[in-house]
Amino acid sequence: MDAPELSRSPMVTIGRILKPFGVHGEVRIESLSDVPGRFEGLETVTLALPDGRILETLVTSVRQINQGVILGLSAFSTPETAALYRGAWIKIPENQNLPRDTDTFYQFELIGLKVEDAEGHPVGTLEEVLEYPQHHVFVIRNEDREILVPASRRTIAMVDLAHKVLRLTSREWWDTTYAL
Q: Residue 92's beta-bridge partner residues?
A: 12
Report residue 14's pLDDT band, with 50, 70 and 90 as the boundaries.
confident
Report residue 180's pLDDT band, with 50, 70 and 90 as the boundaries.
very low
> What is the per-residue pLDDT for 103?
74
Stretch 42-59: mean pLDDT: 90
Q: Has this prediction a pTM greater than 0.85?
A: no
> Residue 115: is its pLDDT beyond 80?
yes
> What is the per-residue pLDDT for 75?
92
Check: CB of residue 93 under 8 Å from CB of residue 20. Answer: no
pLDDT in tens, 134-170: 888 899 998 888 888 888 888 889 999 889 999 998 7
Instruction: For residues 30 and 47, give the distance between their C-alpha atoms in angstroms, rounded to a whole number.
Output: 13
Percentage with pLDDT > 90 across the chain: 30
Stretch 30-41: mean pLDDT: 79
> What is the per-residue pLDDT for 26?
93
